[in-house]
Amino acid sequence: MIAALPQLRRVSRRATQVFITLFGLLLLTFFIGRVMPLDPVLAIVGPDADHATYQQVYHQLGFDKPLWAQFGIYLNGLLHGDLGHALLTGQPVSQDILRVFPATLELATLAIVIGAGLGVPLGVIAAARRNGAIDYAVRVVSLAGYSTPIFWVGMVGLLLFYAHLGWVGGAGRIDFSLDGVVPRRTGLMLVDALLAGNGTVFWNALNHLVLPASLLGFHSLAYISRMTRSFMLAQLSQEFILTARVKGLTEWQVIWQHAFRNILVQLLTVVALAYGSLLEGAVLIETVFSWPGFGSYLTGSLMLGDMNAVMGCVLVVGLIFVLLNLLSDLLYQVFDPRTKV
């Protein structure tokens, strides 16, 4: 019982941090939304509505109350699982998010698989061949990934690989002729197609997914490869690496079994943060490719001044990063038992 007290204190401390973080996000977003030069009432009633209609909707939305009272009403609804109704769709925000989030999840998951699957080995090889041709090539790729606007890259990719070469599908998640053919179960187009046993829909969806996911993956690859290279260079300069080489271990064993093993804990955080950024930051790619995902929904809500939808999205983004950090902590304990102390 006494041995469990430090663990309980740690869990309690982390829960308090999570609560404060999410509360701060909601508070900041709420008050920023109320001072934005956008009128959600006007978006509902239209510019031709008379003053009486405008005032009626203004009162129904609670905008006549003080800001602290409005925020209290929102928190009360949130505690009961009510995120409010979206002005853009007229549906509950929670339903909208559940509808659009799987599209972004599918896009970001494939992107992080590409980014981490290529970025980690490239970073390791670049560090092992420091100042060589591969190292310079990886550094150029990383620089290009950081400096090239993702919006421009997306448009060029569409023009080249879709319009000119015809190697990939165009905008959207699937061809219009196949839309609705497979019943929605998970919201993940590839998974739903496999569950339905429909190979045509699967390959068509994958054909639409591969280009935007590859472009997002290239963007995360630049970050992951650069961080991996830095971590590996720090490890390869340590004395234990020299000792391993003196003992006669092969270069493969020195790099992958000794140096790389020591950076796994750091890489977990890098990949987790990159994945979280893809989930909430794929707005430009979704705009270019008309991808009906979380980013497009958030952008449309912001332009309309729909703060119920915006705050619901902010809450989801906050939860994503919190959960990814918690997952990183758990994996830390697997790869590095010293973190249990």
- Torsion on CA atoms 116, 120, 121, 126, rounded to nearest 10: 140
- List CB contacts of 221: < 8 A, sequence separation 6 or more: 114, 115, 118, 119, 122, 141, 142, 145
Using the predicted structure, report yes or no on whether residue 112 has a pLDDT greater than 90: yes
- Residue 236: the pLDDT is 83
pLDDT, one tens digit per residue, over 165-176 is 888 888 888 888
Q: What is the mean pLDDT of residues 56-78?
A: 78
* CB hemisphere CA count around 239 (13 angstroms): 0
φ and ψ at residue 92, rounded to 5 degrees: -55, 140
pLDDT level of residue 1 (50, 70, 90 thresholds): very low
The larger pLDDT score, comparing residue 141 to residue 107, is at 107
- Residue 109: the pLDDT is 92
Structural domains in the chain plus CATH codes: 94-335 (1.10.3720.10)
Which has the closest alpha carbon to 108: 315, 282, 297?
A: 282
List, in sequence order, every residue forming a beta bridge with 85; answer none if it has no partner: 92
Q: Are 49 and 58 in contact (CB under 8 A)?
A: no
pLDDT, one tens digit per residue, over 140-173 is 888 888 788 888 888 888 888 888 888 888 888 8
> Strands, E, within the chain: which ranges?
none
In percent, how much of the chain has pLDDT > 70?
89
The larger pLDDT score, comparing residue 307 to residue 232, is at 232
Which has the closest alpha carbon to 288: 148, 204, 170, 111?
A: 170
Give me the DSSP letters along 127-149. HHTTTSHHHHHHHHHHHHHHHS-
Q: Are 125 and 134 in contact (CB under 8 A)?
A: yes
Q: Are 331 and 268 in contact (CB under 8 A)?
A: yes
- Would you state the structure tokens that stand for residue 118, as one six-digit string? 């290529």
The larger pLDDT score, comparing residue 242 to residue 113, is at 113
Using the predicted structure, report yes or no on whether residue 121 has a pLDDT greater than 70: yes
Distance in angstroms (rounded) separating the CA atoms of residues 250 and 239: 16
- Residue 3: the pLDDT is 47
pLDDT, one tens digit per residue, over 294-341 is 888 888 887 777 777 888 888 888 888 777 777 777 776 666 655 554
List, in sequence order, every residue forming a beta bridge with 92; answer none if it has no partner: 85
